[in-house]
Amino acid sequence: MTGRTTPQSEKKPPGWKVEGVKKPESPPEEQPNLLRRPPNRRLLIIALVLFAVNWYLTSLFFARPEIELSYSQFLDAVEDGEVETVFSQGDSIEGLFREPQANPENPEEMAEAFSTVRPSWADDSLVETLRGNGVEISAVDPEQRPIWQQLLFGFGPTLLLLWLFVSMWRRAGSALGGLGGLGRSRAKRFEASSQRTTFDDVAGIDDAKAELLEIVDFLKNPGKYTRLGGAIPKGVLLSGPPGTGKTLLARAVAGEADVPFFSMSASEFIEMVVGVGASRVRDLFDEAKKVAPAIIFIDELDAIGRTRGGGVSLGGHDEREQTLNQILTEMDGFTGSEGVIVIAATNRPEVLDVALLRPGRFDRHVAVSPPDQRGRLMILEVHTRNVPLAEDVDLGSIASTTPGMVGADLRNLVNEAALMAARRNHEKVTMADFADALEKIVLGTERQIMMSEAEKERTAFHEAGHALLGMLLPGADPVRKISIIPRGRALGVTFQSPDADRYAYDRNYLEGRIVGALGGRAAEDVVFGTITTGAENDLVQVTRIARSMVGKWGMSDVIGPITLIDETREPYFASEVGERTQELMDEEVRRIVDECYQRAVTVLKEHRSQLDAIAAALLEKETLDEAEAYEVAGIKRSEAVTAAG
């Protein structure tokens, strides 16, 4: 695609012993008693803080409102018969009113209790005055509550919070857990009975599925193999581009074998505390061995499985190596992994440590490649099982126009088509919904921006240049759609895709790709005599293809059949390419691009009338599909296919 852009269990079946002798379980009296662990200092501090906070809050919420009276106000209240009970401790006097009284300083505040202080030099007969006005003189604090209420409200909430905290602490911790359970495995366990995935849910990758059928058969019938001295592979490494179904394959193996399935991302092993990753690995394998036969799935293995000992020691380097060493030990150590199969997935198998890839660790390497046309059809059939399709939907046609798409892409396509149909209030998903969904995914979402007539005209010629060269160059991918409607970052797009899947590319095809990508810039140069920034994305594609031709695929007579670009090398390693060779590669890249650009300019000048016709049609309709584009250019689609052959 080119365009003009603006300036991303239960009982264990027999035969599971692989090697070593399983350590017998400890008798009940030898089991570690977690309740006898010495008290944690931090736990005691937290408990004391909770007691203090609870006592303070209790005193606030359960104390009666109280007002402070002067001694004169207190005597007046006694004489007026407003005081019911008094309690004295030294010169301090506290008591209760017969009825709630207003605070002299704040009349809106009502209180049942009061307090005052009797002057030490007072010589009045206070006791007689109190008794004369019917006031009860008590030796018990009127504010004092029964002891059971004090214990309940004072210590009950604190004890409850402390019990909850201790329960959570003990649940999070374990003998391997360390501080707060940092060393415990975070793997998610999926039982085969719930959310079961089988090979019926996996389509389009039959080669990879066939490799795993033996694993499933061994998990179901281990005695069939062990009686002949065979041993199940310790590990299976699934490698391939993102979205090809590596995780789905692993879950299908667990579902078919009807065994527990532990899933964890490799990055979840690593923590800032050194040694936690290795502890989590041990805990994960221990959990899996308890319910063996079981499957452990580690996603994105390259996060911890990179080659050891290379480069400088960066942050987390030691922790990553310790985690990797523990995985190596668990998979093929002295004790062995009894009935535990490790399935790992990675997008970059070339960066993995050689110790992981040797027999005894990951014995089987399964390449999960993007599906071919037949595979894409099968994937579409799986994802549309619960989608009502209209009669005009041709899944075979959709599969043929989606080369390079993987399972995740096709699932997204079906979902977008269903959403599109729902927005349009369709009863079923139509072929038009699929076409618009594919256009949205491949070309981008339309942008509502206003372009000037001059900008629109330049964009039309830019896209016409891409399209015309795609129609005229032998072996070029057919043009599927041309549009000058802004989408994503592009002001216009030209979509090309092959009629059949390609697995190898010759020099002529790659040079044709470069010529076609430069067609927009060349058209602007031919028509307007100037160039703009609209070819930014085109130039990125051109440079990538030309550099790969010279540095990776040996398509330069000057450089020869050697590889100069090693994508597996870490960025901090010094380059193995000499300065002179690097200069030669740059010169060859420049030569290829210059020759292709001159070829694009020459072809467009020779077919200027067809270029103008396509641009005019774009200015009128804004979007041309495959049939319209070839008709406007005056080129028969059959002739283009013949030229491509």
**CB distance 326 to 337 below 8 Å:** no
Per-residue pLDDT band at 183 (split at 50, 70, 90): very low
Contacts of 75 (CB under 8 A, 6+ apart): 124, 129
Contacts of 161 (CB under 8 A, 6+ apart): 50, 54
Residue 425's pLDDT is 92
Select from 23, 335, 30 the least CA-distant residue to 175. 30
The helices-and-strands tally (H runs, E runs) of the chain is 22, 15
pTM of the predicted model as reported, rounded to 2 decimal places:
0.64
Residue 63 clears pLDDT 60, i.e. is over it: no
Residue 637's pLDDT is 67
Per-residue pLDDT band at 274 (split at 50, 70, 90): low
Share of the chain above pLDDT 90, in %: 19
Instruction: Tell me the per-residue pLDDT of 398-441, one tens digit each, with 9 for 90 and over.
Output: 998 888 888 899 999 999 999 999 999 999 999 999 988 988 88
Instruction: Tell me the per-residue pLDDT of 224-252, one tens digit each, with 9 for 90 and over.
Output: 877 888 777 888 899 988 888 888 888 88
Residue 462 clears pLDDT 90, i.e. is over it: yes
* Catalytic positions, written as ranges: 463
Indicate if the alpha-carbon torsion angle 397, 401, 403, 407 is positive or negative: negative
Residue 27 clears pLDDT 50, i.e. is over it: no
Centre a 10 Å sphere on the Cβ of residue 631 and count the other Cβ atoms it contains: 14
* Strand order, beta sheet including 490-496: 2-5, 490-496, 479-483, 623-625
Give mean pLDDT, residues 122-130. Answer: 74
Residue 52 clears pLDDT 80, i.e. is over it: no
Centre a 10 Å sphere on the Cβ of residue 459 and count the other Cβ atoms it contains: 27
Structural domains in the chain, CATH included, are 64-142 (3.30.720.210), 188-367 (3.40.50.300), 373-443 (1.10.8.60), 453-566+577-644 (1.20.58.760)
**For 298, left (φ over 0), alpha (ψ -120 to 50), or beta?**
beta
Instruction: Tell me the per-residue pLDDT of 575-619, one tens digit each, with 9 for 90 and over.
Output: 677 788 888 989 999 999 999 999 999 999 999 999 999 999 999
Q: Cα–Cα–Cα angle for 33, 38, 40, nearest 5°?
A: 120
Straight-line distance from the first to the last Cα atom of the chain, in angstroms, rounded to the nearest whole number: 21
**CB distance 465 to 524 below 8 Å:** yes
3 state DSSP class of 80 = coil
Q: Which has more pLDDT, 103 or 439?
A: 439
Give DSSP secondary structure letters for 439-463: HHHHH--B------HHHHHHHHHHH
**CB distance 64 to 112 below 8 Å:** yes
Instruction: Tell me the per-residue pLDDT of 131-171, one tens digit each, with 9 for 90 and over.
Output: 777 777 776 554 555 666 666 666 667 777 777 777 666 66
Of the candidate ranges 54-68, 289-303, 387-401, the one whose mean pLDDT is the lowest: 54-68
Which residue, chain included where needed, has tokens 């006592």? 55
